[in-house]
């Protein structure tokens, strides 16, 4: 196990390096710079700012400087939010994004898996069609439509919930979490349904049925575990995406997470901030893919990652 | 090639052809039994016909505002069947023009991702070993890149060119395809008919092109029907950020975004484009599910 | 459990559908307004309200546009940051609710006869929020910091009229050479290189505010963090959650603290105007930064008493790139395009908030300046269009040989609508084929400045100080934002003359002449005068609309509601409130 983990860790380093290099040069190709504004800066001030942030050096030099910075875990000052460093901004935004995303993920799993399994048991019957159609609505309506609808209904017409803001208060979390979870519920339900149908047709379930085991036991003890495998592999990248936030949800509900830095950072040419969140995302992806593999091994005993301690 | 080898080869070839044909026919029959999938197919055909022909049938232009009727509800009297937008442009025509763009974006971007994904995945899977390892490591690197950041930067760099939107989205979306194809290829390449072809002296590229790729078709078709709706949604997200298609052209995403902002004052400007968008996505998804059920050999118990 | 989940989902989608269908005001019937009704406000001789009318909690919630880039007054840019900084800091002068310039940190001042020497007498009661006195030396140090190029102050050119400022900005002289002196602790003297009639107005701009030297030296760039920031205004920074909220509380050391009624102001940043609008409707805000332009009809019907629209000191216009074809040598073509657009339609049907159609660059409303209206301002639109067609033909274009032109704008809902409408008008009147090019902001700025690919592009300017010169100087051939590439030596000479002219009436005439020249050369295509538009809770009082759009929280206060927030089902008796009787008696 340990051996395998170390191997994965070692292979993550070139991946991250590739990601950093690619993102660094990509964002620099974009026209315009971080200090452009509607009002033109006097040339000497502009030159001074460039020198202050080392933007006057040749690009390869800046790249090496940046790599050296990251090695020391310093993501540098933000070029847009002048009073903060990228570390500050991520430290402020990440807990918000992780809370929001984590709750949405839990909600999506708690609803998606049961309705997917339920639909699988009624394959091609009205109940199946009804549930899956509703799930499809969750996928087919963009969340920038769902969010204003929810706000209009629950915050403005009914006045039950706040219209936005965050501040870690439960009532403010309800609408954004639901908005973020809706499409995931739909995806998870569909994946669960598909794999559940497949599992229910497989030979070992038929054997179990032939043995006369109670349906409930077959379902929960035998079918559910293998049926969840595709859900788990979907969750890896999905979790990384949802934990780093959603631009739409953050914007519509004014949530100070890190999601909008991917967009705003790029639009403001806030080079360091954008690199910071890109690297964070990359690390999460690698981490979650690793976790997915571990969970796989745990759920499916046929898979073993360790060649040396296989007997243990 | 001696006699017995040739026999084996012919047999392999034959069974493949027969198997192939029966597979498709079988699949088609099974698809015909799936009402939801069939209805979806019909919806899509009608939708495509409508967005192509519809705008030609209307008296209105998608570009020129009707200054006397801005933000008016649907009405036969004014001739605006779906009402008008905030500038007085006919929403019927704009919804259909938007449909053209959305469908085009969906299809072209998916094709781009197919082209890259299939060739990349097939090559990696077929050659295996170090090549595979290196190629997949590259995919991992790109995979770890947040998709939105990538698309936005590309949009910023290349401006608002619609063809570049296709390419940008396709260029990111091929990763999944590459992975799927690679996995399939890995399992295909040791099948008897491939070995037979190799024994006949076919070159590597010929084998990939003639034997591997055609056998991936089932997976690919399912993938396509599920990717097109995703791409349409991605385009709508870009429109939400104001980075979508250039005026006076529009897309469903752009229209839905405009409509969502006038939810209360002009609900029709949301309802019609959102209805078209949802119906199309619905249809693609149901069709994709239907095709998967129909094509998946595991089902044929 | 599965069934429960399904029911929840069903219920949810059902209500969502209901909201989509039932959300519109049916048959134009106004929905009942949820705005609070307030008591009638009686002011005493000092213009302060009766204490009994004041709400118990004086916490002001202000929507404030995008997250400020910084709260360092010298580095900050943009209106949102300025709004917060005007509450935190105080310049030598400040503004009254109606926008008049009134004494700030300086209680009075002398201006020498030649208009070149300003002597400011600081309020001896002026204190920093840590109790230190505000001294003339603070201003000297702060202003030197502004013009020091290593500071990187975005608006450093605000101090350009001060002796040696230009030379310091271009690193030819040390910052110590700036023409400012502390005659004693409370006397601050400024030497100007040319008389600058708007100089007192500049002093309300955050770039000229003092900063606290000791805390800057202690904390460096972290001096603006909550807990570190020392300021001299009516409020002091209490908490700052990035992209969530900025809280400022009343500064107990402020020289006029007794007059400040608001105890706390919370500024909320918004990335999306619809979001802010929803938050206001849900009762989370007293004051919005803006209003979504497509909500006008709804607002008129449902929240008319909260909507405040007033002219602003800014102009929306398009510019022609004069360095390239097709506009380089063809003034007729530029005039044709200018005359072909219908500004009434643009303002009434596209922007819709009462923007004022204009044919000039400088907005109306300056006390001592009347923009020179060209003669076509008096024509009917039909006359303008006829003339436009004539000029278009004279420029060598026709239906068979139409002008093909690119209209460039940066991503924004309003710019998009205006550009689409303008393109349609050109097409309808002249047959011009316009390609709309929507660019992301920084790409747009770069293209504009490079003048290589631009043809016609969106421009616009909000005056930095209350003088026509803030608009005219943009078109000096060497100005950094002269993106049109206007290069007219006569115009440049006029600007130079204006800068050194000491007699107000002569100066005004020169400015009128300059603007007339600019308009005759049709460098720009003016569209409308901006308006400020915002929603304000009726309970918030003490503020007034003003053309510079400066609203200091220290003048404001919250009054009581007339009725307690009760459900409509309750009886009328319950709704009676003792304060109402008081005001009527």
pLDDT digits (tens, 9 = 90+) for C260-297: 999 999 999 998 888 899 899 988 999 999 998 888 88
For an interface test with A, which of B44, B144, B236, B279 has the most A Cβ atoms less than 10 Å from its Cβ? B144
Residue C499 vs residue C575, higher pLDDT: C499
Burial of C544 (0-12, 13-18, 19+ CB in 10 A): middle
Task: Please determine, for residue C362, whether its predicted confidence score (pLDDT) is greater than 90.
Answer: yes
Looking up tokens 């107990």, which residue turns up?
C252
**Residue C340 C-alpha, separation from nearest chain B C-alpha, in angstroms:** 15
Task: Please determine, for residue C177, whether its predicted confidence score (pLDDT) is greater than 90.
Answer: yes
pLDDT of residue A304: 54
Helices (H), C130-198: 136-147, 165-169
Residues of A in contact with B150 (CB under 8 A): 26
For an interface test with C, which of B65, B74, B240 has the most C Cβ atoms less than 10 Å from its Cβ? B65
**Residue A201 C-alpha, separation from nearest chain C C-alpha, in angstroms:** 21
Of B146, B153, B240, the CB nearest to A248: B240
User: Which chain A residue lies closest to C72 (C-alpha atoms)?
Assistant: A83
**Residue C425 C-alpha, separation from nearest chain B C-alpha, in angstroms:** 8
User: Which chain C residue lies closest to A111 (C-alpha atoms)?
Assistant: C5
- DSSP state string for C508-569: HHHHHHHHHHHHHTT-EEEEEEEEEEEEB-TTEES----TT----GGG-EEB-BSS----TT
Residue C280 vs residue C566, higher pLDDT: C280
pLDDT of residue A139: 82
pLDDT of residue C49: 80
What percentage of chain B carries pLDDT values higher than 90?
2
Give CATH superfamily name and number for C34-66+230-303+538-584: Periplasmic binding protein-like II (3.40.190.10)
Helices (H), chain B: 3-33, 35-57, 91-127, 129-143, 147-158, 162-188, 192-199, 204-207, 213-215, 217-240, 252-261, 268-295
Is A269 in Cβ contact with C169 (below 8 Å)?
no
Residues 202-241 of chain A whose Cβ lies under 8 A from any Cβ of chain C: none
Task: Please determine, for residue C566, whether its predicted confidence score (pLDDT) is greater than 70.
Answer: no
Task: Please determine, for residue C322, whether its predicted confidence score (pLDDT) is greater than 90.
Answer: yes
* CB proximity C418 to B under 8 Å: no
Q: What is the DSSP letter of B75?
A: B
Which of A220-229, C156-165, C449-458, C553-562 is the least confident region?
A220-229
CA B180 to chain centre: 16
pLDDT of residue C385: 94
Which chains does A contact via 3+ CB–CB distances below 8 A?
B, C
Helices (H), C438-577: 441-450, 469-472, 489-500, 504-520
* CB proximity C274 to A under 8 Å: yes
pLDDT of residue B296: 62
The pair of structure tokens assigned to B195 is 């070995």
Residue B208 vs residue C182, higher pLDDT: C182
For an interface test with B, which of C385, C412, C420, C433 has the most B Cβ atoms less than 10 Å from its Cβ? C420
Give CATH superfamily name and number for C311-530: Dipeptide-binding Protein; Domain 3 (3.10.105.10)
Of C5, C13, C155, the CB nearest to A137: C13
pLDDT of residue B60: 77
Residues of C in contact with A137 (CB under 8 A): 13
Looking up tokens 């004022």, which residue turns up?
C356
Contacts of residue C262, Cβ cutoff 8 Å, sequence gap at least 6: C58, C59, C60, C250, C553, C554, C556, C557, C558
Closest among C430, C502, C487 to C194, alpha carbons compared? C502
Q: Give the mean model confidence (pLDDT) for residues C429-448.
A: 89
pLDDT, tens digit, for every residue of A174-222?
Answer: 999 999 999 889 888 888 888 888 788 777 778 877 887 777 777 777 7
* CB proximity A4 to C under 8 Å: no
Radius of gyration from C-alpha coordinates of chain A: 24
**Residue A11 C-alpha, separation from nearest chain B C-alpha, in angstroms:** 9
A-B contacts at Cβ under 8 angstroms = 119
Residue C11 vs residue B205, higher pLDDT: B205
The pair of structure tokens assigned to C164 is 């040696």
pLDDT, tens digit, for every residue of C164-175?
Answer: 999 998 889 999
Residues of C in contact with A167 (CB under 8 A): 241, 244-245
Contacts of residue C219, Cβ cutoff 8 Å, sequence gap at least 6: C225, C228
Residue C29 vs residue B276, higher pLDDT: B276
Is C350 in Cβ contact with B265 (below 8 Å)?
no
How close are the terminal C-alpha atoms of chain B, in Å? Answer: 37
Domain range summary for chain C, segments of one domain joined by +:
34-66+230-303+538-584, 79-224, 311-530
Beta bridge partners, C247, equal C239, C266
Beta strands in A165-232 (DSSP E): none
Q: What is the CATH code of the structural domain delimited by B99-299?
A: 1.10.3720.10
Task: Please determine, for residue C571, whether its predicted confidence score (pLDDT) is greater than 50.
Answer: no
- Going from the C-alpha of A44 to that of each of B70, C68, C147, C156, C172, the distances in angstroms are 49, 24, 11, 11, 10
pLDDT, tens digit, for every residue of C19-78?
Answer: 443 333 333 333 444 677 777 777 776 667 888 788 888 999 999 988 998 999 999 888
Helices (H), A30-85: 43-52, 59-71
Contact A149, B263 (CB under 8 A): yes
Which of A255-269, B286-300, C105-119, C505-519 is the least confident region?
B286-300
For an interface test with A, which of B149, B230, B270 has the most A Cβ atoms less than 10 Å from its Cβ? B149
Beta bridge partners, C120, equal C109, C188
The pair of structure tokens assigned to C578 is 């003792």
Most confident of B31-45, B51-65, C420-434: C420-434
Beta bridge partners, C437, equal C408
Task: Please determine, for residue C111, whether its predicted confidence score (pLDDT) is greater than 50.
Answer: yes
User: Which chain A residue lies closest to C228 (C-alpha atoms)?
Assistant: A83
Residues of A in contact with B142 (CB under 8 A): 18-19, 22
Residues 50-79 of chain B whose Cβ lies under 8 A from any Cβ of chain C: 63-65, 67, 70-71
Residues of A in contact with B241 (CB under 8 A): 247, 263
Q: What is the pLDDT of chain B when averaged over all its residues?
A: 79
pLDDT of residue A305: 53
pLDDT of residue C32: 41
Q: Give the mean model confidence (pLDDT) for residues B168-175.
A: 80
The pair of structure tokens assigned to C269 is 């940043």
Domain range summary for chain B, segments of one domain joined by +:
99-299
Looking up tokens 């550009």, which residue turns up?
C419
Burial of A308 (0-12, 13-18, 19+ CB in 10 A): exposed
pLDDT, tens digit, for every residue of B88-127?
Answer: 888 888 999 899 988 988 888 888 888 888 888 888 887 8
Is C420 in Cβ contact with B248 (below 8 Å)?
yes
Looking up tokens 């939105």, which residue turns up?
B148
pLDDT of residue C575: 38
- Going from the C-alpha of B180 to that of each of B117, B175, C127, C205, the distances in angstroms are 9, 9, 69, 60
CA separation for the pair C153, C73 (Å, rounded): 9
Contact C142, C128 (CB under 8 A): no
CA separation for the pair C448, C540 (Å, rounded): 41
The pair of structure tokens assigned to C17 is 């559908």
The dihedral sign for the CA sequence B44, B48, B49, B50:
positive
The pair of structure tokens assigned to B269 is 């400007």
Contacts of residue C284, Cβ cutoff 8 Å, sequence gap at least 6: A162, A163, A164, A165, C61, C268
Which chains does C contact via 3+ CB–CB distances below 8 A?
A, B
The fold of C79-224 is: Dipeptide-binding Protein; domain 1 (3.90.76)
Of C149, C153, C270, the CB nearest to A254: C270
Residues of C in contact with B67 (CB under 8 A): 345, 349
* CB proximity B291 to A under 8 Å: no
Residue count of chain B:
301
Q: Could you tell me the pLDDT band of residue C568, with boundaries at 50, 70 and 90?
A: very low
Contact C55, C560 (CB under 8 A): yes
Contact B197, B91 (CB under 8 A): no
Residue count of chain A:
312
Q: Give the mean model confidence (pLDDT) for residues B265-282.
A: 88
Residues of B in contact with A145 (CB under 8 A): 256, 259-260, 270, 274
- Going from the C-alpha of A295 to that of each of A102, A108, A235, A292, C288, the distances in angstroms are 18, 18, 11, 5, 49
What is the pairing mode between strands C117-122 and C187-191?
A: antiparallel
CA separation for the pair A190, A129 (Å, rounded): 11
Q: How many other CB atoms are found less than 10 A from the CB of residue B193?
A: 21
CA separation for the pair C294, A103 (Å, rounded): 34
* CB proximity C71 to A under 8 Å: yes
Q: What is the pLDDT of chain C when averaged over all its residues?
A: 86
Residues of B in contact with C23 (CB under 8 A): 263-264, 267
Residues 148-207 of chain C whose Cβ lies under 8 A from any Cβ of chain A: 149-157, 169-171
For an interface test with C, which of B265, B270, B271, B272 has the most C Cβ atoms less than 10 Å from its Cβ? B265
Closest among A266, A36, C458 to B156, alpha carbons compared? A266
Residues of C in contact with B266 (CB under 8 A): 24
Contacts of residue C362, Cβ cutoff 8 Å, sequence gap at least 6: C315, C369, C371, C468, C471, C472, C515
CA contacts within 13 A on the Cβ side of B46? 10
3-state secondary structure (DSSP) of residue B220: helix
CA contacts within 13 A on the Cβ side of A7? 7
Residues of A in contact with C442 (CB under 8 A): 30-33, 36, 267-269
| Mean pLDDT per 10-residue interval, chain A, length 312 residues | 77 85 88 77 80 86 90 88 90 91 92 89 82 83 88 87 83 90 88 83 79 78 80 82 82 89 87 91 87 79 50 34
pLDDT of residue B160: 66
Closest among C414, C398, C292 to B247, alpha carbons compared? C414
**Residue B256 C-alpha, separation from nearest chain A C-alpha, in angstroms:** 8
């Amino acid at each position: 196990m340990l051996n395998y983990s170390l191997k994965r860790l070692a292979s993550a380093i070139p991946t991250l390096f590739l990601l950093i290099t690619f993102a660094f040069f990509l964002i620099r190709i974009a026209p315009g710079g971080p200090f452009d504004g509607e009002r033109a800066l006097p040339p000497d001030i502009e030159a001074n700012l460039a020198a202050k942030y080392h933007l006057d050096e040749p690009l390869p030099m800046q790249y090496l400087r940046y790599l050296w910075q990251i090695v020391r875990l310093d993501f540098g000052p933000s070029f847009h939010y002048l009073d903060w460093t990228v570390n500050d901004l991520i430290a402020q935004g990440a807990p918000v994004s992780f809370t929001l995303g984590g709750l949405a993920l839990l909600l999506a799993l708690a609803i998606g898996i049961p309705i997917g399994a339920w639909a699988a048991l009624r394959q091609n019957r009205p109940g199946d069609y009804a549930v899956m159609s509703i799930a499809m609505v969750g996928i087919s309506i963009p969340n920038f439509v769902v969010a204003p609808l929810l706000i209009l209904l629950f915050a403005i017409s009914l006045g039950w919930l706040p219209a936005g803001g965050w501040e870690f208060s439960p009532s403010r979390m309800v609408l954004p979490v639901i908005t973020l979870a809706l499409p995931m519920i739909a995806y998870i339900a569909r994946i669960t349904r598909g794999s559940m149908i497949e599992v229910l047709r497989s030979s070992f379930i038929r054997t179990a049925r032939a043995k006369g085991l109670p349906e409930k036991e077959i379902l929960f003890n035998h079918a559910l575990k293998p049926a969840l495998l595709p859900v788990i592999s979907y969750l890896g990248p999905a979790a990384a995406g949802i934990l780093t936030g959603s631009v739409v949800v953050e914007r519509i509900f004014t949530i100070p997470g890190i999601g909008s830095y991917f967009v705003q950072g790029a639009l403001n040419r806030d080079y360091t901030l954008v690199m910071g969140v890109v690297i964070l995302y990359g690390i999460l992806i690698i981490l979650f893919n690793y976790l997915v593999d571990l969970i796989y091994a745990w759920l499916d005993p046929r898979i073993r990652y360790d060649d040396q301690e296989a007997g243990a | 090639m001696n006699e017995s080898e040739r026999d084996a080869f012919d047999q392999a070839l034959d069974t493949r052809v027969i198997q192939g044909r029966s597979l498709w026919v079988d699949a088609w029959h099974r698809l015909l039994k799936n009402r939801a999938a069939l209805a979806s197919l019909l919806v899509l055909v009608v939708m495509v016909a409508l967005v192509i022909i519809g705008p030609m049938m209307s008296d209105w232009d998608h570009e020129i505002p009707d200054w006397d009727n801005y933000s008016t509800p649907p009405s036969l009297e004014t001739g605006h069947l779906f009402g008008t937008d905030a500038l007085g442009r006919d929403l019927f025509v704009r919804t259909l023009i938007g449909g053209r763009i959305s469908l085009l974006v969906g299809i072209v971007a998916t094709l781009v991702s197919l082209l890259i994904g299939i060739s990349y995945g097939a090559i990696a899977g077929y050659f295996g070993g170090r090549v595979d390892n290196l190629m997949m490591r590259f995919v991992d690197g790109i995979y770890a890149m947040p998709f939105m950041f990538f698309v936005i930067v590309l949009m910023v760099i290349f401006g608002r060119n619609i063809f570049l939107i296709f390419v940008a989205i396709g260029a990111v979306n091929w990763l999944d395809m590459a992975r799927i194809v690679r996995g399939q290829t890995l399992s295909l390449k040791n099948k008897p008919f491939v070995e037979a072809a190799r024994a006949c002296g076919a070159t590597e590229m010929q084998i990939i092109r003639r034997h591997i790729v055609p056998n991936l078709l089932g997976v690919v078709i399912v993938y396509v029907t599920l990717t097109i709706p995703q791409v349409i949604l991605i385009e709508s997200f870009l429109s939400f950020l104001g980075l979508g298609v250039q005026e006076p052209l529009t897309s469903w995403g752009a229209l839905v975004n405009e409509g969502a902002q006038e939810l209360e004052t002009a609900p029709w400007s949301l309802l019609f484009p959102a209805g078209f968008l949802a119906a199309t996505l619905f249809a693609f998804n149901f069709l994709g599910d239907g095709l998967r059920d129909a094509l998946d050999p595991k089902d044929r118990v | 459990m599965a069934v429960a989940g399904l029911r929840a989902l069903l219920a949810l989608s059902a209500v969502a559908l209901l909201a989509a269908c039932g959300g519109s005001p049916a048959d134009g019937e106004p929905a009942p307004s949820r705005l609070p009704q307030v008591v009638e406000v009686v002011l005493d001789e000092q213009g302060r309200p009766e204490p009994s009318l004041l709400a118990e909690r004086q916490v002001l919630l202000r929507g404030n546009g995008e997250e400020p880039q910084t709260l360092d007054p010298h580095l900050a840019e943009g209106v949102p940051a300025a709004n917060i900084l005007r509450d935190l800091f105080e310049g030598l002068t400040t503004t009254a609710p109606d926008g008049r310039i009134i004494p700030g940190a300086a209680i009075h001042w002398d201006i020498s006869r030649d208009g070149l020497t300003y002597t400011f007498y600081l309020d001896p009661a002026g204190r920093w929020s840590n109790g230190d006195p505000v001294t003339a030396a603070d201003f000297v140090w702060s202003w030197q910091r502004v013009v020091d190029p290593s500071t990187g102050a975005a608006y450093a050119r605000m101090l350009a009229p001060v002796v040696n400022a230009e030379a310091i900005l271009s690193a030819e002289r040390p910052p110590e050479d700036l023409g400012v002196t502390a005659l004693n602790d409370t006397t601050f003297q400024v030497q100007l290189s040319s008389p600058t009639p708007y100089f007192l107005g500049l002093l309300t701009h955050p770039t000229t505010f003092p900063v606290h030297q000791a805390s800057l030296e202690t904390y460096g760039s972290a001096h603006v963090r909550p807990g570190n920031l020392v300021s001299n205004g009516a409020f002091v920074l209490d908490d700052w959650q990035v992209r969530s909220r900025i809280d400022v509380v009343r500064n107990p050391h402020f020289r006029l603290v007794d007059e400040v009624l608001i105890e706390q102001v919370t500024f909320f940043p918004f990335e999306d105007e619809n979001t802010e609008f929803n938050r206001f409707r849900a009762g989370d805000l007293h004051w919005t930064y803006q209003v979504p332009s497509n909500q006008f009809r709804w607002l008129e019907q449902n929240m008319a008493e909260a909507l405040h629209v007033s002219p602003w000191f800014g102009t929306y216009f398009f510019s022609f790139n004069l360095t390239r074809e097709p506009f380089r040598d063809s003034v007729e073509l530029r005039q044709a395009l200018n005359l072909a657009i219908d500004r009434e339609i643009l303002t009434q049907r596209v922007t819709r908030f009462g923007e004022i159609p204009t044919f000039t660059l400088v907005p109306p409303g300056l006390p001592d300046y009347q923009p020179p209206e060209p003669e076509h301002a008096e024509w009917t639109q039909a006359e303008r269009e006829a003339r436009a067609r004539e000029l278009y033909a004279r420029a060598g274009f026709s239906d068979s040989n139409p002008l093909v032109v690119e209209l460039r704008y940066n991503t924004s809902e309003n710019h998009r609508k205006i550009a689409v409408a303008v393109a349609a008008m050109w097409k309808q009147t002249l047959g011009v084929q316009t390609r709309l090019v929507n660019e992301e902001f920084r790409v747009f700025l770069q293209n504009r400045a490079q003048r290589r690919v631009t043809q016609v592009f969106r421009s616009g300017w909000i005056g930095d100080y209350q003088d026509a010169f803030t608009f005219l100087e943009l078109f000096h051939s060497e100005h950094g934002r002269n993106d049109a590439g206007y290069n007219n030596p006569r115009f440049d000479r006029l600007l130079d003359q204006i800068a050194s002219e000491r007699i107000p009436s002569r100066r005004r005439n020169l400015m009128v002449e300059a603007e007339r020249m600019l308009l005759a050369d049709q460098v720009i295509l003016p569209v409308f005068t901006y308006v400020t538009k915002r929603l304000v809770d009726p309970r918030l009082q003490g503020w007034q609309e003003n053309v510079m759009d400066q609203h200091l929280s220290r003048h404001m206060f919250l009054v009581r509601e007339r009725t307690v927030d009760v459900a409509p089902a309750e009886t009328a008796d319950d709704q009676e409130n003792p304060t109402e009787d008081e005001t009527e008696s």
